[in-house]
Structure 1
Amino acid sequence: MKHRTLSASVFATLLGATPVLAQDVVLALTNAVNTLDPHQSASVGLDLSVLSHVYPSLILRGPDMALHPSLATEWEAVDDTTWRFKLVEGAKFVNGEPIDAETVAWNIARVTNAEAPTRISSWFTPVTGVNVISPTEFEITTATPYPALPAQLSMFMLLPPKWAETHDPASETMSGGAYVVDNVSPGDSVTLSANPEYWGEAPPFEQVTFRTIPETASAIAALLAGEVDFINKIPPSELARINDSGAATGGSVSSTRSVFIKFNTEKAPLDNKLFRQALNYAVDKEAIAEVLFGGEAELSTCQVMTPAYFGYNPDLKPYAYDPEKAKELLAESGVDLTQTLEFEVPTATYLQGEEVAQAVAQMFDEVGVKTEFRMMEFGAYLEKYRKAHDLGQLSLLGQAWPTIDADGLLTMFKPGDQYSYWNDAAFDEQLVAGNATTDPEEREAAYAEAARIMCDEAPVVFMYAQPATYGVSKNISYTPRGDDWVRAFDMAPVN
């Protein structure tokens, strides 16, 4: 399978961009940027969205959900374990360093260095090396088939190697993308300006500002007052007010992000399968979708994948809301119901997340399971989740994977993965099988079986797909997308 470059004008049209520099644009984020190092974050809707304006990627996924050329003009699978790429000529970072095959090789080596793993190292576990053929051509080799590699590379950004030797990418930047960083106000904003030396098409705005506005009411007020041009994670009940304002428009599209109650099965009583199943029966997902999301949230069908994902199992059905069945399983589980379970909820992170958590806690209480909320800022939650590996017994979590492939999303539950908190050998066996072949039918069958096993073992309360809601000012046009990216080059000024 070979992918060739599109003309710049066609690519710009697909991304909703225009090569004409015009007005500035202000985009609101619900949380502050955690790091400026693109290899130390997997937060697509936050850190990586901002950094995608600054650092180049080989491939970009457009709002149409298709993969488009960026630095890479062509790519093809040479065999089951080799991918060959061709690059644009003459691309450079602002400091003059070339963006060539050697640059790609250095960046791949950085994230595959076992002695100094980065946050995204697990994305490239199958990669064995990079073979530089010429400044504009190289091959990535893998130990096993990796059919999702091009999709994975759409969220992989390149740092300048020489610069990185003497600077800290976590707090400094050296642009090779469409914008340069003008100012970072920690916890408040990041301001970018168009890179005059950018090797690609001129970006659509002269200046892009990302503002941190955690509170929904404040974000909506800022949009209607003309202080920001884009907001997301809006309660569906507020869309009509935005559309009636005359100052902005609001809407929603289907999302690839599933929201669920994650169980830390490494802590009792969540190591008890019957207890986990009971909690699934205890939650009225339909009521939550209807009351809190106006019917806009699509119920999860006993799996964390949405229908958009390769590997989705269409035969699975949601756990029914059955509190009596929940009580029966709780009694059968033998768990001491006098104990109180810790329920961690990251604030200002998921659409109406706090309200969802409260509703779930009430439903747990109705079947005799007591919980205690521990509200925390998203960065603190990530510290517990990833670095400390010490999640509470229950937590509200939403996850998506921009490859839109089971290979990415289900791996977050793979035994041994830092995000898993669940160890199931049969599930792992299916992931291994799906990752061992490039045959689409074999991969799909393996992932569908993995999803079935996960449904039965219930390492989460399967809830719903978060609707991708948004509001945009009348000054910009926007191509909505359901995969979390917030990027100015998906927008254009309205002339």
Structure 2
Amino acid sequence: MRRTNSRLLVLATAVALIAAGCGGGGGGDAGGRAADQSLIIGMNHVSQNFDPISTTATSDYTYLRFVYDTLVSTDDGAPKPWAAESFEPISAKHWRFKLREGVKFTNGEPLDAEAVRYTFQRALDDEKTPWRVRIENLERMEIIDPLTIDFHLSSPVGNWPTRTSVVWIVPPKYTEENPGALVTKPIGTGPFKMDSFSPGEKVVLSPNADFWGTKSGLQRVELRSIPEDSTRVSALLAGDIDVAYRVLPDFVDQIEGGGKKLISVPSGQSANIFFQTTTNTPLKDVRVRQAIDHAIDKDALRESITQEYGRDLKGQIVGENSVGYSDELQPRPYDPAKAKQLLADAGYGNGVTLAFDYPLGRYYRDKEISEAITGYLQAVGITVKQNPMEGGAWLDRLYSGSWGPINYWSIQDAPAYDLSWTLEIFRSDNIRKIDADPKLDQMLDQSFTITDTEERSDYLTELAAYAHEQAYFVAFHSDPGLYAVDPSVEGIEFLPSTYINLFEAKRTGG
């Protein structure tokens, strides 16, 4: 059962007062929007940039997918054809994609094999493209016919279709003739086209009448930036917006009391701690890592931090939607006595001191989680030297490999939904310098030689079991994904990736 604390009463009162103030002067027109099938979504942020090769955050993908298409969709976990009609492995180093016939960009250009070749090459040619690393194995492309393209890879990539799910296809002619235009005037083949864009503030979309898939019945969609959580909730309660994107559990009672619908979809963002074992540290001993896992009450942490809107990860770094998630793995139980015994067995019966890096405000309640972890560890004889820092400084230390040896890091397995994609950060040659385990490297390499999704999933569950046995991380919970919606809105879908699907969305009344 969800817990409510005294802090909620203060928040609820504050929101009620704000809502009352907005209600009188805001003049929310939900009824009018229902009549003309218009929808306003209050977002926690609005993208600054619609050019896929230069967006810097996965949160921007939520915006890109309204306008652009990718070859493959991973919305259901395993990769499925999207703008591509089909894909098949000739081998793990050679993949063939066939495109849907008749798909056109909103300026009339065809989404054909040349558009795909151009888009991938454009990313490969720009080393600053954030997601370029996901396709850097691409050695060359071969256009077989206008609707068929082959990808030749430098090494086996068994999840190549999944990797294409972050490559947003752009029109070659428009992009070349209008340098920089995609930033604010994107042209795509997605379900919507852009009507107006104020970077960081507002996006207005209308349906793409020529979209090849399910066409939304909505006639206008506005994505409005409302960064403050309480303001987003109050705007919904006042009728100024129809959807409040990503609301905190603290506001649940107020939202439901105000007659709004709550939609809970635990996100693909997970709360974890990682251990650096590449340096001369006590954490090189698996017993110390296992002791830390046993020392933390993961159920209590999830209940208090997420108010039970987060999902138990069962000792895994990815959620249940991901290829490689194991239904059979279970987390190590909370057992302080076992933790102390393991520490003693490892030669640290008199205690051990370990430094702990964590960011402030970068992830959902990172400070509160890290402070709770510190308390649990100190209770079993681990003296923790806390090193909290601003998010940018924390990221710099992470990528320099000079962190820890304990680090709080919230990993997002969505939208890839693939264990090997996520576990790649543990490779021996990774710049973050987390682990140096030849067996883990070998298992990852083996996973990339397997092209069949079900076979890969079976093998990756073995990899998940090995990573859990070695306790390279402690997985706590997935973050809560909470969304508040006016009752007149139906059919809107939120995914663990935090993507929004509006294919079936509609307004049913005022």
State the TM bucket, normalised to the shorter chain.
0.7 to 0.9
- Go from structure 1 to structure 2 and tell me whether the alpha carbon gap of 1:395 and 1:31 turns closer, same or farther (over 3 Å shift): farther
- 1:344 matched residue in structure 2: 359
Question: Is 1:57 aligned with 2:74?
Answer: no
Question: Is 1:111 aligned with 2:123?
Answer: yes
- 1:408 matched residue in structure 2: 421
Does the 8 Å contact 2:491/2:506 carry over to 1? no
Does the 8 Å contact 1:77/1:83 carry over to 2? yes
Write the distance in 2 (CA, Å) between the matches of 1:279 and 1:217. 36
- Go from structure 1 to structure 2 and tell me whether the alpha carbon gap of 1:390 and 1:315 turns closer, same or farther (over 3 Å shift): same
- Go from structure 1 to structure 2 and tell me whether the alpha carbon gap of 1:122 and 1:236 turns closer, same or farther (over 3 Å shift): same
Does the 8 Å contact 2:428/2:435 carry over to 1? yes
Aligned residues: 465
Write the distance in 2 (CA, Å) between the matches of 1:296 and 1:485. 15
Does the 8 Å contact 2:236/2:242 carry over to 1? yes
Write the distance in 1 (CA, Å) between the matches of 2:219 and 2:432. 39
Question: Is 1:33 aligned with 2:47?
Answer: yes
- 1:17 matched residue in structure 2: none
Shift, 1:473, TM fit = 1.9
Q: Under a length normalisation based on structure 1, what TM-score does the superposition of the two structures give?
A: 0.79
Shift, 1:66, TM fit = 7.0
Question: Is 1:306 aligned with 2:319?
Answer: yes
Does the 8 Å contact 2:71/2:83 carry over to 1? yes
Write the distance in 2 (CA, Å) between the matches of 1:156 and 1:195. 22
Decide which of 434, 439, 449 is 1:421's aligned counterpart: 434
Question: Is 1:180 aligned with 2:194?
Answer: yes
- 2:16 matched residue in structure 1: none
Question: Is 1:132 aligned with 2:143?
Answer: yes
- Go from structure 1 to structure 2 and tell me whether the alpha carbon gap of 1:195 and 1:493 turns closer, same or farther (over 3 Å shift): closer
- 1:469 matched residue in structure 2: 482
- 1:452 matched residue in structure 2: 465
- 2:298 matched residue in structure 1: 285
- Go from structure 1 to structure 2 and tell me whether the alpha carbon gap of 1:421 and 1:447 turns closer, same or farther (over 3 Å shift): same
- Go from structure 1 to structure 2 and tell me whether the alpha carbon gap of 1:175 and 1:487 turns closer, same or farther (over 3 Å shift): farther
Deviations 1:7-55 (A, max 9, x none): xxxxxxxxxxxxx9944333344355365442355844x1101111222
- 2:411 matched residue in structure 1: 398
- State the one-letter code of the partner of 1:179: K
- State the one-letter code of the partner of 1:156: V
- State the one-letter code of the partner of 1:128: E
RMSD of Structure 2 on Structure 1 (CA) = 3.6
- Go from structure 1 to structure 2 and tell me whether the alpha carbon gap of 1:185 and 1:79 turns closer, same or farther (over 3 Å shift): closer
Question: Is 1:99 aligned with 2:111?
Answer: yes
Question: Is 1:433 aligned with 2:441?
Answer: no
Shift, 1:318, TM fit = 1.1
Does the 8 Å contact 1:101/1:137 carry over to 2? yes
Question: Is 1:276 aligned with 2:293?
Answer: no
Partner secondary structure for residue 305 of structure 2 = helix
- Go from structure 1 to structure 2 and tell me whether the alpha carbon gap of 1:263 and 1:346 turns closer, same or farther (over 3 Å shift): farther
- 1:249 matched residue in structure 2: 261
- State the one-letter code of the partner of 2:85: T
- State the one-letter code of the partner of 2:64: L
Q: Under a length normalisation based on structure 2, what TM-score does the superposition of the two structures give?
A: 0.77
Partner secondary structure for residue 483 of structure 2 = strand
- Go from structure 1 to structure 2 and tell me whether the alpha carbon gap of 1:480 and 1:357 turns closer, same or farther (over 3 Å shift): farther
Write the distance in 2 (CA, Å) between the matches of 1:455 and 1:439. 24
Deviations 1:142-164 (A, max 9, x none): 45554433333333202333554
Deviations 1:117-140 (A, max 9, x none): 632223224433322123333223
Partner secondary structure for residue 272 of structure 2 = strand
Partner secondary structure for residue 299 of structure 1 = coil
- 2:233 matched residue in structure 1: 220
Write the distance in 1 (CA, Å) between the matches of 2:275 and 2:227. 26
- 1:359 matched residue in structure 2: 372
- State the one-letter code of the partner of 1:118: T
Write the distance in 2 (CA, Å) between the matches of 1:199 and 1:480. 19
Shift, 1:471, TM fit = 1.5
Does the 8 Å contact 1:240/1:250 carry over to 2? no
Does the 8 Å contact 1:151/1:402 carry over to 2? no
Shift, 1:479, TM fit = 4.2
- Go from structure 1 to structure 2 and tell me whether the alpha carbon gap of 1:65 and 1:448 turns closer, same or farther (over 3 Å shift): closer
- 2:497 matched residue in structure 1: 484
Deviations 1:91-128 (A, max 9, x none): 1354x544321110122223345x72632223224433
Partner secondary structure for residue 152 of structure 1 = helix
Write the distance in 1 (CA, Å) between the matches of 2:409 and 2:418. 22
- State the one-letter code of the partner of 1:116: E
Partner secondary structure for residue 166 of structure 2 = coil
Partner secondary structure for residue 67 of structure 2 = coil
Deviations 1:144-185 (A, max 9, x none): 554433333333202333554563478444321422262234
Structure 1's unaligned 5+ residue stretches are 1-19
Partner secondary structure for residue 291 of structure 1 = helix
Decide which of 124, 144, 153 is 2:164's aligned counterpart: 153
Write the distance in 2 (CA, Å) between the matches of 1:358 and 1:233. 24
Deviations 1:237-271 (A, max 9, x none): 6434322311x200323544432123455567475
- Go from structure 1 to structure 2 and tell me whether the alpha carbon gap of 1:459 and 1:205 turns closer, same or farther (over 3 Å shift): same
Partner secondary structure for residue 66 of structure 2 = coil
Does the 8 Å contact 2:359/2:366 carry over to 1? no
- 1:370 matched residue in structure 2: 384
Deviations 1:302-327 (A, max 9, x none): 22133332222344331221233334
Partner secondary structure for residue 82 of structure 1 = strand
